[in-house]
Amino acid sequence: MGGFVLLVIIVAGLVWAIRLWRQRELARFRESDIRTLHELTGGALPGATQQPETTPERGAESALEVSAQSPLEVVAAGAAGVEQPGGETPARAVLKPAALDEIHRRALQNLEQLLDDGYRVFVNKPLADFMRLDNGAVEPYGRQVSLLICERTSFAPVCGVHLRGAGQQEVSRFRDLGQRFEAAGLPLASVPLTPDLSAAEIREQLASVMPSVLRQPDPE
C-alpha cells in the first residue's frame, strides 16, 4: 500500500514538472517572437500609432485647450467649415439664390395665378406621398410629379401637372406617369417646360383635363 502511494506521488510530481517546463518554453518562444517582430518593424508594432511624448506641463495645456471650447462652439466650427485639429476642412453649406430655377419659378407663379383659391400647389411631389399600390406596397420614391394640385383644406390630391422636357426619355416618363395617374383616378396635364412658358399655355392644358381647378373670371 505504501509503495502505491509513493508511485502516485512520483507520477503527480512528474506531470507537474512537465507542465511547468512547457509553460516556461511557451513563454520563452513568445518573448523571442515579440523581440524579432519588434526588430523587424524598427521598434514599433504594426498598426500601432506613435503617441507624442506627454509631459505634465503639456497635459495641463491640452486640458486647458479642450476646456476652452464649449460643445456648441465645436459643433458650430464644424458646420461653418472651420478646419478642425487633425482633420481636413469640411465642405460648408451655401444657400442658392432661390429654391427653384427661373423656369420652374415662372411655371409655378403662373399656375398659382390661374388656380382657384380653394387649391394649393406642391412642387416635385413623390408619388409615394399620395399613392400606394393595390397590393398594399408603397409606390417607389424614384417617381415624382412636377406639380401636384391639392384641395387647400383637406390636402386631397386633385390633379397633376407634368412639366415636360425635350427628348424621348421625357415621352416615356410622361407615359409612365399617365398610367399611374389614370389608375389612381387623377387627371394629369402635360405642359412643355420652356423659358417663355406663359399662363395661357398652362390654362389651356389644365382646362382640357380639370377645368374646375381654374379661377373663373369675374362677371362683368
Indicate the domain borders of the chain: 1-41, 102-213
φ/ψ of 180, rounded to 5, equals -70, -40
The pLDDT mean for the chain works out to 77
CATH of domain 102-213: 3.40.1350
Work out the average pLDDT over 184-206.
Answer: 91
Q: Which residue has the higher pLDDT, 39 or 175?
A: 175
pLDDT in tens, 74-119: 444 454 555 555 667 888 999 988 888 888 888 899 999 999 999 9
Residue 37: pLDDT band (50, 70, 90) is low
Q: What is the DSSP string of 111-154?
A: HHHHB-TTEEEEEEEEGGGT-B-TTSPBPPTT-EEEEEEEETTT
pLDDT in tens, 125-172: 999 899 888 887 766 667 899 999 999 999 999 999 999 887 778 888
pTM for the full predicted model? 0.56
Contacts of 48 (CB under 8 A, 6+ apart): none
Whose cell is 526588430? That residue is 39
pLDDT over threshold 70, residue 61? no
